[in-house]
Amino acid sequence: MKQVLATLAAVSAAAVLTFSQPAFSQQTTDALAPEAATGQQAKSAVRAREFMVVAANPLAAEAGLSVLRDGGSAADALVVVQTVLGLVEPQSSGIGGGAFLVWYDAATGKVTTIDGRETAPMAATPELFIGDDGKPMEFFEAVVGGRSVGAPGVVRLMQKIHERHGKKDWAQLFEPAARMAEAGFTVSPRLAALIDEDAPLLAAQPSTRSYFFDGSGTPLQQGSALLNPAYAETLRTIGAEGADAFYKRPIAEAIVSAVQGHPNNPGKLSLEDLANYEAKEREAVCAPYRGLDVCGMGPPSSGALAIGQILGILSEFDLEGLGPEDPQSWRLIGDATRLAFADRGRYVADRDFVDVPKGLLNPDYLKSRAALLKRPDGLSAEAAKAGDPPWDKAELRLDGVSLEVPSTSHFVIVDADGNVASMTSSIENGFGARLMTRGFLLNNQLTDFSFAPQENGEAVANRVEPGKRPRSSMSPTIVLRDGKPLFALGSPGGSNIIPYVAQSLVGLIDWKMDISEAFAMPHFSNRFGRYDLEAGTAAAELADDLQALGYEVRTTDMNSGLHGVAFLADGTLEGGADPRREGVAVGD
């Protein structure tokens, strides 16, 4: 345990605070170093006075910062950051995918959310992922091809937030990514490593083979120049004609052709599905913790509810007094996470299709859940089951499990007016459905549904239904103190997003870490009973302690991509980027 603290101390010592431009230059150099593709590199916390961007690739962060410097809003910078990420980090997010946005409006003090999650085709049935043998398909059998593709939501989301809060001309916001696509960009170490890792699946699809491999059939290498003129044309079409150009015209036809025309695994997405897609504004889900309000995205995201439950349970315990060096802290955090995931598996799905109990965040209910952690024998496997929260309408559901494989991106933008965008964007699995059209990859988000829709006549909440949005763990978060932003953060990582963000919040709030320390902490995750410890970190020092407490323990890679901003008492912005990836914080 001393080694855990020593690691944190070392990270803290590395977090020398500087102002934006020198820090950006060093951050860019660090992020693109070869080690960043496979291991951690200490990154400095970055401070700014007026505005800030924290994103998963330096090229995207710099492009967003340029918009803010030119007087643009966070909504303007969001469009630029997302379109550049779709070019330089295509395996994680893009206009062929979906996103959740949590937005703080400085003028009104209101937090709202926009749901840009993909939808299932209207022709889809609950048996979409049931094979000819009557059994659920294997994951990659379902992923690769058109079957897994849902109607993308990112473009509608970008237009919706720009219409409300944009200052710059819509068309001009697509130019930075379009020019970069025409001129070419340098393949980063991370992108090269992921192309190589996924080479068999990418090579099997003509559209991805022609883009991610050179003329000799070799996966693109780090430092290669990659051009994407088709993406530039697509972006300029959307810029000139608006989001309808993506959802109703030749771009939509190209998407449907790629999905329905796949030779081995065609999908059901139609032109009508695209034309009818809507990015939905939803009320933020906010939960109290230590006098703060932790706000995020509600269903179809399980993020804000699960994080709210975890923190609500933990509020019954003195984590500050225990500290990060005490195994009991991790017992409590892990068991609170297990309870939240049990409720998530049974009750949480698209709220337009399933009655999700508001009582999941009821204080008395969370006290009863916390009481399970106070038992002398700890939280038994039997006790780590879904609870019985207060209902507005009783609707019992069967526990369901869906596999979320991490390939996602999170970014935070703060503009000069004090508006905050915390957005998590994804195409689901790395490189999505391995289908590319018009210069962008298509998502495989429908595999976030439960493959098995029912058992013995009982329905799984997160089953496939026409027009439904699959449950997600994406957890864009904004924390308020007295109605003002204190932290904005989020992460990729599949269902591990929830423990990544919850653990970071404990580090920030209970253990008074700065944002770089919180993001650099070794990861601990207990979603379903087994405790996963992050390989190659001091987390392994806890293995014996956790085994002595009765847990099965596994050491494994846990590649988060936490990005966030802390709002300091003196008005300074402090940005942090996960040392496990290529992201940077930049600002003025």
C-alpha triplet 468, 469, 470: angle, nearest 5°: 115
Smallest CA-to-CA distance from 280 within 302, 297, 255, 304 is with 297
Residue from 119, 408, 424, 437 carrying the catalytic annotation: 408
Rounded to whole angstroms, the Cα distance separating 521 from 365 reads: 30
Number of H helices, E strands in the chain: 21, 24
280 sits in which H/E element: strand 280-283
Alpha helices in 70-183 (DSSP H): 74-88, 139-143, 154-165, 175-183
> Which tokens belong to 245?
């150009």
Question: Which residues, including other chains, have CB under 8 Å from residue 229's CB and lie 6 or more apart?
Answer: 181, 182, 439
C-alpha separations of 583 from 16, 197, 241, 259, 421 in Å: 17, 20, 32, 32, 17
Q: Is 408 a catalytic residue?
A: yes
Strand partners, 484: 481
Count other Cβ atoms within 10 Å, centred on residue 586: 27
C-alpha triplet 235, 236, 242: angle, nearest 5°: 85
> Which tokens belong to 171?
């068309």
Rounded to whole angstroms, the Cα distance separating 442 from 378 reads: 45
Phi, psi of 411 (to 5 degrees): -140, 155
Rounded to whole angstroms, the Cα distance separating 438 from 233 reads: 8
- 494 neighbors 430 (Cβ within 8 angstroms): no
Smallest CA-to-CA distance from 308 within 331, 336, 287 is with 287
**Length of the chain, in residues:** 588
Question: Which residues, including other chains, have CB under 8 Å from residue 556's CB and lie 6 or more apart?
Answer: 532, 533, 534, 535
Strand partners, 281: 114
Rounded to whole angstroms, the Cα distance separating 286 from 297 reads: 9
Rounded to whole angstroms, the Cα distance separating 54 from 410 reads: 9
Rg of the chain over CA atoms, in angstroms? Answer: 22
In the three-class reduction of DSSP (H, G, I as helix; E, B as strand; rest coil), residue 270 is classed as coil
- Cα of first residue to Cα of last residue in the chain, in angstroms, is 38
Smallest CA-to-CA distance from 154 within 466, 423, 449, 414 is with 423
Question: Which residues, including other chains, have CB under 8 Å from residue 550's CB and lie 6 or more apart?
Answer: 378
Question: Do you find a cis peptide bond into 300, omega within 30 degrees of 0?
Answer: yes
- 503 neighbors 309 (Cβ within 8 angstroms): no
Count other Cβ atoms within 10 Å, centred on residue 394: 8
Rounded to whole angstroms, the Cα distance separating 11 from 520 reads: 7
Q: Which residues are catalytic?
A: 408
